[in-house]
Amino acid sequence: MTSSLVTGATNNAVSNIHHPRYSQVAQGKLRPVLNLLLQHRFTQFESFLSAIRGGLADASSSARAHLEELTQSLQALADTNNDEVTLEYLQNTIRLASESIDSIKKWANPPTDNRVELYYSFASELECTGPLVVSGPGIESTIIHATGPVDIHGYMRGGYIKCARNVSIGQIGTPAGKTTEVVVPEGYSILANKVYPNTILQVGQIKHKFQREHSMVQFSAATAETYRHG
């Protein structure tokens, strides 16, 4: 830590801060947050952030990066004496918290104008923050991470899709049994006109590997058991 020390932060942490610019924020929206930080009551935030990170394993790289940076900032505060903490550092931590919230909101509620439309994809890796439509023949050996729904009019041959919404595909896999995998969260479904052997579909914790060809597949938590016996 460098200049502008925040000192005298004891029981009434914020009231005892001595800083030439503190009057600008003392009565503002930062006051309750500064109190929590300076009284070391933010320690419970770390476990909260860890839980969030665990639930956002498939979130956008931006959301994960913001959360990681915020966690590191809070950890540094936990390991620092109050009289060594600068007001600038606290303000930066609050900024990181705000950016983390914004990133999570954008990931959880992708704007509809982020729609991506492809004709064909081969041996590619895609990250989409909105709906994805493949209007041509399909995709081959492609990895997709999507926060919006995925609609592939043609085939998916090999590769992997992890989607935060529903997925609809014409044909998944190949007659020769090329491993192909599609994953969605609990509460969503995977639709396909045809599914070939060695196709792996997963909804939440429910996972099934198809051993033979199936037509008109609607794979969800409610229907998964049907395919286990079919």
Kindly list the distances between the CA atom of residue 29 and the CA atoms of 2, 17, 72, 168, in Å, as whole numbers in the listed order. Answer: 25, 16, 23, 46
Helix (H) or strand (E) holding 140: strand 132-146
User: Is residue 120 a contact partner of residue 36, using CB atoms and an 8 Å limit?
Assistant: no
What amino acid occupies position 129?
Answer: T
Residues paired with 194 in a beta bridge: 171, 215
In angstroms, how far is CA 51 from the centroid of its own chain?
A: 12
**Residue ranges in the chain assigned as alpha helix (H):** 30-38, 43-55, 61-78, 87-108, 224-228
Higher-confidence residue of 129 and 84: namely 129
The pair of three-digit structure tokens given for residue 8, joined into one six-digit string: 């005298």
Q: Is the pLDDT of residue 151 over 70?
A: yes
pTM summary value:
0.54
Backbone phi, then psi, for 218, in 5-degree steps? -130, 95
- In eight-state DSSP terms, residue 2 is -
Q: What is the pLDDT averaged over residues 62-86? A: 66
How do residues 160-185 score in pLDDT, each as one tens digit?
999 999 999 999 999 999 999 999 99
Q: Is the pLDDT of residue 135 over 80?
A: yes
3-state helix, strand, coil in the chain (%, to 5): 35, 30, 35
Of 13-22, 29-38, 170-179, 208-217, the least confident: 13-22
> pLDDT category, 55, cuts 50, 70, 90?
low
Q: Please give the Cα distance from 161 to 126 (Å, whole number).
A: 9
